[in-house]
Amino acid sequence: APTSGSDESVIMAEAPILECRGVSKAFGAVQALYDVDFEVCPGEVMALVGDNGAGKSTLIKGIAGIYPFDRGQVRYEGVDVHTSGPSEAAGLGIEIVYQDLALADNLDVVANMFLGRERKTGIILDEVHMEEEAQATMDSLSVTTLQSVRQVVAGLSGAQRQAVAVAKAVMWESKVVILDEPTAALGVAQTRQVLDLTRRLADRGLAVVI
């Protein structure tokens, strides 16, 4: 038992924000997940490691509501949740950055970060405020490799594209960010940039799953 208020606050801060208890998922005769327990806490970076076909992506997509679990329990901030799709997960504060990043190459960074959530004044896009918010998010994550948030995504490096996808995920008050193989196909220097960015997310109190 805690002996002081400060000790108690530390214990409370370590409570999981996202938990899976005994989740299972089968696709016909293929058992992709069986009685999986998983949890991640605020400020923690948690890595899911396994062979191809081990069920890592299935677990992530189950949390996102893309593949509803056959059985088991998902708790978010201590409450049982049942998400029916990525938009519901995002509404809770769970953002997923998939390996393909889902960025529009023909648009600039600002347009990508606000895609589907554009700021408007009447029927006119509020380009000034969107650019300011995009730049503020990049600054808060210490992303210094971009020359401008008006750069077209097609001309960015792999690490820069990953930074845009992560910034897009965290600018909407997310509390859990799940990164699907964020360093795949990146070189050593670019991998370092992405891992440093991941650490900064955790330092801000987000729960990060890789």
Summarize pLDDT for 132-170 with one digit per residue, the tens: 999 999 998 888 888 999 999 999 999 999 999 999 988
Average pLDDT, the chain: 89
Q: Which pLDDT band, with edges at 50, 70 and 90, does 2 fall under?
A: very low
Residue 185 has pLDDT above 80, yes or no: no
Task: Please give the structure tokens belonging to residue 59.
Answer: 């677990």
Q: What pLDDT does 8 receive?
A: 47
Q: Which pLDDT band, with edges at 50, 70 and 90, does 4 fall under?
A: very low
As a whole number of angstroms, the distance between CA 179 and CA 47 comes to 10
Q: What pLDDT does 52 receive?
A: 87
Q: What pLDDT does 1 receive?
A: 46
What's the mean pLDDT in 9-15?
Answer: 55
Residue 205 has pLDDT above 90, yes or no: yes
What is the pTM assigned to this prediction?
0.82
Which of 4-13, 26-35, 98-107, 173-182 has the largest mean confidence?
Answer: 26-35
62 within 8 A of 25, measured Cβ to Cβ = yes
Residue 12 has pLDDT above 50, yes or no: no
As a whole number of angstroms, the distance between CA 163 and CA 168 comes to 8
Q: What pLDDT does 204 receive?
A: 92
Could you give the percent of the chain with pLDDT greater than 70?
A: 94
Treating both helix axes as pointing N-terminal to C-terminal, what angle do 188-203 and 158-170 enclose, rounded to 10 degrees? 10
Q: What pLDDT does 173 receive?
A: 81
Q: Return the closest-CA partner of residue 113 out of 77, 89, 88, 140.
A: 140
Could you give the percent of the chain with pLDDT greater than 90?
A: 64
Q: What pLDDT does 54 receive?
A: 92
